[in-house]
């Protein structure tokens, strides 16, 4: 999978893809993340990429030209399945969207800043708008990192244990069951006996029961129940 991320602060996107699972995805040739500096596509003096909004009011807007130039440049190289704009106005991100995007081949992710991007870019180029939650960040970069991380770990071959992504919270509208590792007793608290029993079916049933219990207590909305 290939993902181009367009940003005015490309340095923000170095570390999130240089460690752990995202590094493994890259090293195994499964995910190529390319961060593009939007300023390189400005034709203005001092590499300007934003300007005052028509109609007045506080806040500046990201201009059409550098974004369009950048996207057109990228499109010469490959065909994209989606051009995604990270914005608090977008569709709220969930595991279903992560799953469906993980099946794509090439994506562009555009990170907004300031008051956002000129509406005409949304009309002309953007195929999907995504928000990572009902709050406003200073820019789309951290949101893009969240999106790419969530997609990247689903790519076949990235996780060492191929089955474990299937049991993540949200894959079946349930939160995860509690997990334990050594030691068996910590500060007087003991690992539940069933997990030490070696009885696979009992372990499976216990985990399911705990996942349902936890979901009911914390996120009844996932079970179609009132919050």
Return the range that interacts with ligand ADE (CB under 6 A); candidates 23-31, 131-139, 186-194, 203-211: 131-139
Phi, psi of 124 (to 5 degrees): -85, -35
16 binds ligand ADE (CB under 6 A): no
Binding residues for ligand ADE, rule CB under 6 A, total: 12
Phi, psi of 86 (to 5 degrees): -85, 120
140 binds ligand ADE (CB under 6 A): yes
Q: Hey, what's the torsion of the CAs at 100, 97, 142, 163, to 10 degrees?
A: -60
112 binds ligand ADE (CB under 6 A): yes
Structural tokens at position 46: 């001092």
215 binds ligand ADE (CB under 6 A): no
132 binds ligand ADE (CB under 6 A): yes
Return the range that interacts with ligand ADE (CB under 6 A); candidates 31-39, 43-51, 134-142, 181-189: 134-142
Number of Cβ within 10 Å of residue 105's Cβ equals 10
- Let me know if 109 is exposed, middle or buried by CB neighbors in 10 A (0-12, 13-18, 19+): buried
* Residue 136 or 217 having the CB closest to ligand ADE: 136
Are the CB atoms for 140 and 115 separated by under 8 Å?
no
| Position among 143, 151, 158, 175 found at the interface with ligand ADE (CB under 6 A) | 143
116 binds ligand ADE (CB under 6 A): no
CA angle 67, 42, 108 (to 5 degrees): 25
Please state the closest distance from residue 133 (CB atom) to ligand ADE, in A.
5
In this chain, which residue has its C-beta nearest to ligand ADE? 143
Are the CB atoms for 207 and 215 separated by under 8 Å?
no
- Let me know if 17 is exposed, middle or buried by CB neighbors in 10 A (0-12, 13-18, 19+): buried
Return the range that interacts with ligand ADE (CB under 6 A); candidates 16-24, 33-41, 53-61, 86-94: 86-94
152 binds ligand ADE (CB under 6 A): no
Helix (H, G, I), strand (E, B) or coil at 179: coil
| Position among 1, 3, 31, 137 found at the interface with ligand ADE (CB under 6 A) | 137
DSSP secondary-structure letter at 78?
Answer: -
110 binds ligand ADE (CB under 6 A): no
| Position among 29, 55, 135, 188 found at the interface with ligand ADE (CB under 6 A) | 135
Q: Site residues (CB under 6 A) for ligand ADE?
A: 86-88, 112, 131-133, 135-137, 140, 143
């Amino acid at each position: 999978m290939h993902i181009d991320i367009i940003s005015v602060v490309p340095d923000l996107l170095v570390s999130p893809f240089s460690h752990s699972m995202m590094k493994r995805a890259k090293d195994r040739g499964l995910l190529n993340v390319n961060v593009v500096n939007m300023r390189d596509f400005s034709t203005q003096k001092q590499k300007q990429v934003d300007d005052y909004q028509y109609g007045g009011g506080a806040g500046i807007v990201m201009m059409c030209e550098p974004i369009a130039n950048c996207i057109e440049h990228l499109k010469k190289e490959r065909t994209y399945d989606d051009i995604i704009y990270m914005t608090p106005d977008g569709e709220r991100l969930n595991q279903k969207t992560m799953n469906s995007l993980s099946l794509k081949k090439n994506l562009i992710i555009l990170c907004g800043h300031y008051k956002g991007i000129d509406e005409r870019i949304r009309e002309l180029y953007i195929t999907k708008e995504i928000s990572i939650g009902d709050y406003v960040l200073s820019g789309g970069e951290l949101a893009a990192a969240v999106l790419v991380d969530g997609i990247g770990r689903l790519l076949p071959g990235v996780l060492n244990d191929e089955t474990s992504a299937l049991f993540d919270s949200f894959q079946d509208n349930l939160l995860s069951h509690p997990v334990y590792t050594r030691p068996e007793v910590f500060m007087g608290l003991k690992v539940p006996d069933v997990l030490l029993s070696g009885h696979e079916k009992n372990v499976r049933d216990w985990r399911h029961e705990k996942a349902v219990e936890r979901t009911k207590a914390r996120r009844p909305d996932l079970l179609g129940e009132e919050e």
